[in-house]
Amino acid sequence: MIEPRTLKGFRDYLPEDQILRERLLDKVRHVYRSYGFVPIDTPALEYTEILLGKGGEESDRLIYRFRDHGGRDVALRFDLTVPFARFAAQHINQLGTPFKRYHMGPVWRGENTAHGRFREFWQCDFDIIGTTSNAADLETVLVIHDLMTTLGFERFSIRINNRLVLNGLLEEIDLAEQTTNVLRALDKLGKIGREGVIAEMAEKGVPAEQAQRVLDMATIEGSNDDILMRLAKEFGSSDKAMEGIRRLRELLAAASAAGIHQDRLQIDVSIARGLDYYTGTIYETFLDDLPQIGSVCSGGRYDNLASLFTKQVLPGVGASLGLDRLLAAMDGLHLNAKTGATAPVLIIQFIEEKLGEYQRLGRTLRAAGIGAEVFPEAKKIGQQLKYADRRGFRLAVLAGPDELAANQVKVKNLATGQEEVVAADELVAVVKKALGENGSDGG
């Protein structure tokens, strides 16, 4: 006998959790589609060269990499961004620009599992490519906003910044060549504090005075207007920083005109996202009630998506939603009503010989958009009702010999225990009324 087990860092999703994941993915998809984003899919497996670039020869422990039967050096994708870059290089001439895609699927990383990290997890990415227009940056804010409200979060803030502001500052104080080190250190501000950031910058050779200046700028507080005014005053001499400030100002004004409440969109000069990749607007999203879980939706603007694969310059902006982090947050805030049922009605199998009749009742309910399961065995009624309770069904339909003879059925509310005998042809109406608005879904 073989011991049934999953690999370390991998997991099964049992129905209660998978029902929640499907519901979440549906809602996320709905938001993306409502803005005209279109879906794509790419293979789980790609040439390693595509995923890691030509410099990726040294073995990277984070990647699941192997040789296939044909001797090809292949790997499982570790994010959805690199496959999108490859996809865009291959297909953008056919698709045309601007091109707005979403992509939801699993990625694999050989992560250290010590801190509850998983080696297989889902990402939900959306991007607008082929335009440098600030309209796309605004739309990214609106999509993040709608994702949060659609998922039931009421207290959250989208923090935005523009890399041009920080880049301008670093040029002004002669730290341009230290950009990566400075941003990496700054990115840890929340975790290691001011002194920690200064210490880390010092290690990289950044003098304390300059480090202090960076931190002062990064931690300006106040209203968005205050911050913009202060930045403009400090950086009047840097064209780069002023362009970043102009774009932030324009984005805030348009978001406000579009009806986004100003409390939900906050300038935060400290968010840098330690990726060289981003070049303009940067986004992070925090839940007011669970700040410790970090950003649940992050992204930014980049100058060129697919420079590894094509000479065609493809600027764009987008963000990625962390599905598992969000599910954990929703659990934490009790936004997830768990259920083990996908259909609200269980039809009791009273008499084995009448199975066809019970399934006919089921078909009648399903045709009216109401999920209905027929218990597969003519067990004792008590056992069937116990099953209904355990799974989370809301109503049971019972039809014994007397009811069948009279062309009637009994509808039992499993929460209250109330029973009602109704004519068989009133079943749909009675069940719809009993279920209220959620008639079509057990969840």
Q: Binding to a copy of itself (CB under 8 A): which residues in 24-83?
A: 29, 32-47, 49-50, 53-54, 61, 64, 66-70, 72, 74, 76
Subset of 131-150 contacting a copy of itself (CB under 8 A): 131, 133-136, 138-139, 142, 146
Fill in the amino acid letter for 65.
R
Q: Which is nearer to a copy of itself, 223 or 256 (CB)?
A: 256
Backbone angles phi, psi at 370, to 5 degrees: -110, 120
Options 100-108, 216-224, 271-279, 330-338: segment touching a copy of itself (CB under 8 A): 100-108
- Rounded to a whole number of angstroms, the minimum distance from the CB of residue 164 to a copy of itself is 19
Q: Which is nearer to a copy of itself, 242 or 254 (CB)?
A: 254
Options 164-172, 178-186, 200-208, 385-393: segment touching a copy of itself (CB under 8 A): 385-393
Give me the 320-359 binding string for a copy of itself, x by CB under 8 A, dash otherwise.
Answer: --------------------xxxx--x--x--x--xxx-x
Q: Which is nearer to a copy of itself, 37 or 153 (CB)?
A: 37
- Rounded to a whole number of angstroms, the minimum distance from the CB of residue 126 to a copy of itself is 12
- The Cα–Cα gap between 90 and 431 comes to 52
Task: Give the H or E element holding residue 420.
Answer: strand 419-423
The footprint of a copy of itself on this chain (CB under 8 A) covers a number of residues equal to: 114
Among 219, 264, 277, 309, binds a copy of itself (CB under 8 A): 309
The dihedral built from the CA positions of residue 374, 376, 381 and 387, taken in this order, carries a sign that is: negative
Q: Which is nearer to a copy of itself, 210 or 279 (CB)?
A: 279
- Rounded to a whole number of angstroms, the minimum distance from the CB of residue 80 to a copy of itself is 12
Q: Which is nearer to a copy of itself, 186 or 431 (CB)?
A: 431
Q: Is 21 a residue that touches a copy of itself (CB under 8 A)? A: yes
Closest CA to 398 of 347, 343, 433: 347
Q: Which is nearer to a copy of itself, 241 or 346 (CB)?
A: 346
Closest CA to 87 of 316, 411, 416, 242: 316
Q: Encode burial over 120-130: b for 16+ CB neighbours within 10 A, e otherwise.
A: bbbbbbbbbbb
For 74, the token pair is 């292949």
Q: Is 303 a residue that touches a copy of itself (CB under 8 A)? A: no
**Strand, coil or helix: 57:** coil
Location of structure tokens 């109503």: 395
DSSP 412: E
- From residue 91, alpha-carbon distances to 47, 88, 303 in Å are 18, 5, 19
- Rounded to a whole number of angstroms, the minimum distance from the CB of residue 79 to a copy of itself is 15
- Rounded to a whole number of angstroms, the minimum distance from the CB of residue 142 to a copy of itself is 6
DSSP 314: -
- Rounded to a whole number of angstroms, the minimum distance from the CB of residue 276 to a copy of itself is 18
Q: What is the CA radius of gyration of the chain?
A: 28
Q: Is 223 a residue that touches a copy of itself (CB under 8 A)? A: no
- The Cα–Cα gap between 144 and 317 comes to 13
Subset of 253-292 contacting a copy of itself (CB under 8 A): 253-259
Q: Is 11 a residue that touches a copy of itself (CB under 8 A)? A: yes
Q: Is 1 a residue that touches a copy of itself (CB under 8 A)? A: yes
Beta bridge partners of 102: 39, 126
Give me the 391-420 binding string for a copy of itself, x by CB under 8 A, dash otherwise.
Answer: x-----------------------------
Closest CA to 300 of 175, 82, 184, 128: 128
- Ramachandran sector of residue 228 (left: φ over 0; alpha: ψ -120 to 50; beta: rest): alpha
- The Cα–Cα gap between 379 and 362 comes to 18
For 162, the token pair is 């523009």
Options 130-138, 164-172, 283-291, 394-402: segment touching a copy of itself (CB under 8 A): 130-138
